[in-house]
């Protein structure tokens, strides 16, 4: 047990050593962590309640007020603080992004592993379904589905509905990625050995296949989360979000619908837009770097460090020579 712990610590230390030197990774982590912090600490960061109308000394609502002492990012058409909405919107956007990302990863991994491991007609069936989903454009399909399911009135909250639709539709690339990895893994000899000791399919998948595709799944999840946040923003902008719990996409929708753009109220539409860019950029950078570190085939860091050592040695010898 202690040996295992030491190995885990060593692996983490190794991970940190590579990660620390990667500027893109650090930027990505910073962007993502600040967004998460905003979502978690929203009540502390926001000076008002999200639905509260700010009034001036005469008791009149401050509508479309530019950034001032009343609100750091101004107010919207109903006199509500934009900064407060942005902080609370982070909660909705991030929650939908993460949950939909995890759901899509789970579905994609399950389908990818089943298709790759079992092969034959299961593979054919699952991959044809994947192909069909792959050629239908995501956004129109999701719009139709969300709208239709809402009209059915099955009692799902709009946010839950968004999570479900994004998670259950956006798994095709993951499934294909995992499938290709499993196709190669299942031909490895330790899988043959596992069969030889009398292991069933469940045991082999759980103990031998899953641990090997896990790094791929982890790296891909971060990338999928960014896509899920983007999709949610798009759908919410088109009016499919929950107006009582505005996400960043819903804020953009409000800004657009209430003529913030023609009125020149940039403080109303720029912050949510930038926030979406902020968090998706963070996820993308972090995901790429994680993929690079966790996927041994993409690593080049040992070559880099050697080159560094050579360069340093030549500098030192040059320094000692003079």
Partner 1 sequence: MIAPDRWPITERPANGTAAPLLRVRHLSTDFITQDKQVMHALDDVSFDVRPGETLGLVGESGCGKTTTMLSLMRLLPAAGRITSGEAIYDGVDLLSLSESQMRKYRWKEMAMVFQSAMNALNPVRTVGDQIAEAILLHGLMDRQAAERRVEQLLDLVGIARSRKEQYPHQYSGGMRQRAMIAMALACQPRLLFADEPTTALDVMIQAQVLALLKDIQADLGLAVVLVTHDLGVVAEMCDTVAIMYCGKVAEYGSSDRIYNSPQHPYTQRLLEAFPDLNRPGESLASIPGYPPRLNALPPGCRFEPRCHKRIDVCHTIAPKLIDVTSPTDRRSSTTRHVAACHLCEGPEIAT
Task: Name the site residues for partner 1 (rule: CB under 8 A).
Answer: 1, 3-4, 7, 119, 188-190, 192-200, 203, 207-208, 211-212
Q: What angle do CA 267, 286, 223 make, to 5 degrees?
A: 85
Q: Which of residues 109 and 253 has its CB atom nearest to partner 1 in the complex?
A: 109
Using the structure block, give the residue that is written with the tokens 């460090």.
Answer: 305
Contact 163, 146 (CB under 8 A): no
Neighbours of 32 (CB within 10 A): 24
Cα–Cα distance measured from residue 20 to residue 48, given in angstroms and rounded to the nearest whole number:
38
Residues 6+ apart with CB under 8 A from 304: none
Tell the smallest beta-carbon distance from residue 199 to partner 1 (Å): 6
Q: Dihedral sign, CA of 171, 177, 183, 185?
A: negative
Q: Which of residues 43 and 200 has its CB atom nearest to partner 1 in the complex?
A: 200
Cα–Cα distance measured from residue 145 to residue 148, given in angstroms and rounded to the nearest whole number:
5
Contact 220, 284 (CB under 8 A): no
Q: Which of residues 200 and 243 has its CB atom nearest to partner 1 in the complex?
A: 200
Q: Which of residues 67 and 215 has its CB atom nearest to partner 1 in the complex?
A: 215
* Per-residue DSSP letter, 63: T
Using the structure block, give the residue that is written with the tokens 């539709």.
Answer: 169
Q: Which of residues 140 and 296 has its CB atom nearest to partner 1 in the complex?
A: 296
Q: Which of residues 15 and 160 has its CB atom nearest to partner 1 in the complex?
A: 15
Q: Which of residues 100 and 194 has its CB atom nearest to partner 1 in the complex?
A: 194
Cα–Cα distance measured from residue 304 to residue 49, given in angstroms and rounded to the nearest whole number:
51
Q: How far is CA 143 from CA 62, 140, 150, 238, 303, in A?
A: 35, 5, 11, 8, 48
Tell the smallest beta-carbon distance from residue 109 to partner 1 (Å): 17
Using the structure block, give the residue that is written with the tokens 């979000």.
Answer: 241
Cα–Cα distance measured from residue 101 to residue 225, given in angstroms and rounded to the nearest whole number:
4
Cα–Cα distance measured from residue 17 to residue 301, given in angstroms and rounded to the nearest whole number:
10
């Amino acid at each position: 047990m202690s040996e295992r712990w030491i190995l885990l610590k060593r692996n983490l230390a190794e991970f940190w050593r590579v990660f620390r030197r990667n500027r893109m990774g650090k930027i990505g982590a910073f962007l993502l962590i600040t967004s998460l912090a905003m979502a978690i600490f929203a009540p502390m960061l926001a000076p008002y309640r999200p639905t509260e109308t700010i009034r001036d000394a005469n008791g009149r609502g401050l509508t479309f007020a530019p950034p001032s002492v009343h609100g750091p990012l101004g107010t919207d058409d109903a006199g509500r603080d934009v900064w407060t909405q942005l902080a609370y919107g982070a909660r909705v956007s991030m929650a939908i992004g993460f949950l939909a990302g995890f759901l899509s990863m789970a579905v994609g991994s399950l389908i990818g592993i089943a298709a790759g491991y079992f092969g034959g007609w299961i593979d054919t069936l699952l991959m044809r379904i994947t192909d069909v989903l792959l050629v239908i454009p995501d956004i129109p399909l999701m719009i139709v589905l969300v709208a239709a399911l809402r009209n059915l009135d099955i009692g799902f909250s709009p946010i839950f509905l968004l999570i479900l639709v994004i998670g259950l539709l956006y798994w095709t690339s993951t499934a294909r990625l995992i499938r290709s990895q499993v196709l190669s893994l299942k031909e490895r000899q330790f899988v043959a050995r596992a069969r030889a000791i009398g292991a069933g399919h469940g045991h082999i998948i759980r103990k031998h296949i899953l641990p090997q595709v896990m790094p791929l799944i982890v790296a891909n999840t971060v990338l999928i989360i960014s896509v899920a946040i983007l999709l949610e923003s798009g759908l919410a902008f088109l009016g499919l979000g929950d107006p009582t719990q505005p996400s960043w996409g819903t804020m953009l929708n409000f800004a657009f619908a209430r003529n913030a753009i023609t009125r020149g109220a940039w403080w109303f539409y720029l912050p949510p837009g930038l926030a979406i860019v902020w968090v998706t950029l963070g996820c993308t950078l972090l995901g790429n770097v994680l993929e690079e570190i966790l996927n041994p085939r993409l690593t080049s860091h040992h070559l880099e460090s050697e080159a560094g050592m050579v360069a340093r040695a030549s500098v030192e010898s040059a320094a000692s020579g003079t």
